[in-house]
Structure 1
Amino acid sequence: MAFQKITESDSLYNDLDKMSLREILEDINKEDQKVAIAVNKEIPQIEKLVAAIVERMKKGGRIFYLGAGTSGRLGVLDASEIPPTYGMPNTLVIGLIAGGDTALRNPVEAAEDDLEKGWKELEAYHINQNDTVIGIAASGTTPYVIGALRNARARGILTASVSCNPDSPMANEADIAIEPIVGPEFVTGSTRMKSGTAQKMVLNMITTSTMIKLGRVKGNRMVNMQLTNQKLVDRGTRMIMEELSLDYEQAKHLLLLHGSVKEAIDSFHREWRLNQ
């Protein structure tokens, strides 16, 4: 029996072009409310994956995302946000998209259909058994991703998949399958909608919880964020003011001197202990 794609099934709504604007927006929102529920059901699988990732990253491992189209863009987006948010090198969470950087803005014909391309791109990074490969595909049928997972798993590398169809071919190639089943899209087959939202939520959960467990958050604050603009300098300054009971200028001086909230606070405490 052929694999059935819920993501390609007919919308629950008809005559979209005849709806009022308010009806369109309300029905899209009604469908979006199903996404968080679907993701919630996958928390045990996400937990299993993150626990394994943290163990590996403590040994120098990395996360590799692979996807095509919207899924690939979401992986690249999530990876690109880790260095500024948590002060991590951009070599630890890496997003690969079928067709390369060109595909971030424009479709690249047949890029996702090459079964071996994904693995060849991973080999260029000297991938090893401390690493984790996460395939992202709403359909769960993308050859670029399936081939990469198959090759990685055969070599003892941890693999995971994020798709919105149950028991997909991609999931069958993964050690840990995450499958938020969000149902048919509002516009039939437009997986940039609910499926994309579900994938974005899952990727946020994976990297955010990983960074917390790796000590990149203190309390509820991004104490390792990069100071790339005045807003972030101000935010970091106020974190230090609150933590150390300093005035604004003292806190800002300390922040700019040490480059991060964490380093500023740690340095302050070290100096205080030396003077006791």
Structure 2
Amino acid sequence: MTFVKITEQPSLYNDLENKSVHELLIDINNEDKKVADAVEKAIPAIEKLVSEIVPRMKKGGRIFYIGAGTSGRLGVLDASEIPPTFGMPPTYVIGLIAGGDHALRNPVEGAEDDMAAGWRDLEAHGANELDTVIGIAASGTTPYVVGGLREARRRGILTAAISSNPDSPIAQEAEIAIEMIVGPEFITGSSRMKSGTGQKMICNMITTATMIKMGRVKGNKMVNMQLSNAKLVDRGTRMIVEELGLDYEEAKRLLLLHGSVKKAVDAYRGGE
């Protein structure tokens, strides 16, 4: 059976340079509307993955995203948002991109074509059987991701793949295949568009659901967020006001004393 890349098929639109700005934006938006439906179809696989991640993470396991280009950048982005949002150390969710951090802003020639580099990068972080490796590649064929998943799985590490083509090579290498079939891109082959949007949505779902199950959210609030700027201090203070019925200044004093909403509330209720 021949592997067909839907992501490379011709756009449903043509003569883009002759369209008005309004027409271009409407057409892009119409294509973007398809992404959420494609992600919805992948929820059973996402649910299975999160259910496997949580018990591993409770034992000290980590999530590794591996990808190249846009896919790699989105993994790094999601990982970088975990400490400020949930107050988890940056060692719990790690994004690895082919070519290293330099590739976040610049193309690195040939980096994604190195089949052995994915595992080398994982090995440098001491990846082990408690960890989870999630390969991201819209095409599903990126050698950096294929090789990393293959070696991780061979060593007994939980593996998952996020791709936009059915039955892709990375899906075949992973235990859990998350296939988000968004169809041809608005600009033919530009997988930073619908595929990238869907990848971001799925990464959000994976880590947000995992962090909630790890106890990093109370009710619907980010009670463990880092207090890294005035906006977040104000947000945390208002959470404590709402939770404990204190005045604003006392709530702020407690927050700054204890360093997080959760710690402040627990200390107050514990009879500070």
Same fold (TM over 0.5): yes
**2-side partners of 1:181 and 1:175: how far apart?**
19
Say whether 1:88 aligns with 2:85.
no
1:126: how far off? 1.2
Residue 155 of structure 1: aligned partner:
155
Secondary structure (helix, strand or coil) at the match of 2:270 reads: helix
1:3: how far off? 1.6
Aligned residues: 272
Residue 211 of structure 2: aligned partner:
211
* CA deviation map 1:188-244 (0-9, x unaligned): 000000000000000000000000000000000000000000000000000000000
**2-side partners of 1:24 and 1:91: how far apart?**
41
Residue 78 of structure 2: aligned partner:
78
Code of the residue aligned with 2:244 in structure 1: it is: L
Say whether 1:254 aligns with 2:254.
yes
Secondary structure (helix, strand or coil) at the match of 1:170 reads: helix
**1-side partners of 2:117 and 2:233: how far apart?**
42
* CA deviation map 1:10-37 (0-9, x unaligned): 0000100111111100000000000000
Secondary structure (helix, strand or coil) at the match of 2:160 reads: strand
The 5 A counterparts of 1:156-195 are 156-195=156-195
The 5 A counterparts of 1:38-49 are 38-49=38-49
1:246: how far off? 0.1
What RMSD over aligned residues (CA atoms) do the two structures have, in Å?
0.6
1:2: how far off? 3.4
Secondary structure (helix, strand or coil) at the match of 1:22 reads: helix
Residue 52 of structure 1: aligned partner:
52
TM-score, reference length from structure 1: 0.98
* CA deviation map 1:171-203 (0-9, x unaligned): 000000001100000000000000000000000
Code of the residue aligned with 2:261 in structure 1: it is: V
For structure 2, the 5+ residue unaligned runs are: none
Runs of 4+ more than 3 Å apart: none
Residue 127 of structure 1: aligned partner:
127
Secondary structure (helix, strand or coil) at the match of 2:94 reads: strand
Say whether 1:197 aligns with 2:197.
yes
Percent identity between matched residues is 75
1:271: how far off? 1.0
Secondary structure (helix, strand or coil) at the match of 2:168 reads: coil
**2-side partners of 1:126 and 1:173: how far apart?**
20
Residue 270 of structure 1: aligned partner:
270
Code of the residue aligned with 1:95 in structure 2: it is: G
For structure 1, the 5+ residue unaligned runs are: none
Code of the residue aligned with 2:217 in structure 1: it is: V
**2-side partners of 1:212 and 1:55: how far apart?**
13
1:111: how far off? 0.2
Code of the residue aligned with 2:255 in structure 1: it is: L
TM-score, reference length from structure 2: 0.99
**1-side partners of 2:114 and 2:64: how far apart?**
18
Secondary structure (helix, strand or coil) at the match of 1:181 reads: coil
Secondary structure (helix, strand or coil) at the match of 1:38 reads: helix
Residue 33 of structure 2: aligned partner:
33
**2-side partners of 1:72 and 1:18: how far apart?**
33
* CA deviation map 1:53-95 (0-9, x unaligned): 0010011000000000000000000000000000000000000
Secondary structure (helix, strand or coil) at the match of 2:11 reads: coil
1:125: how far off? 1.1
Residue 103 of structure 1: aligned partner:
103
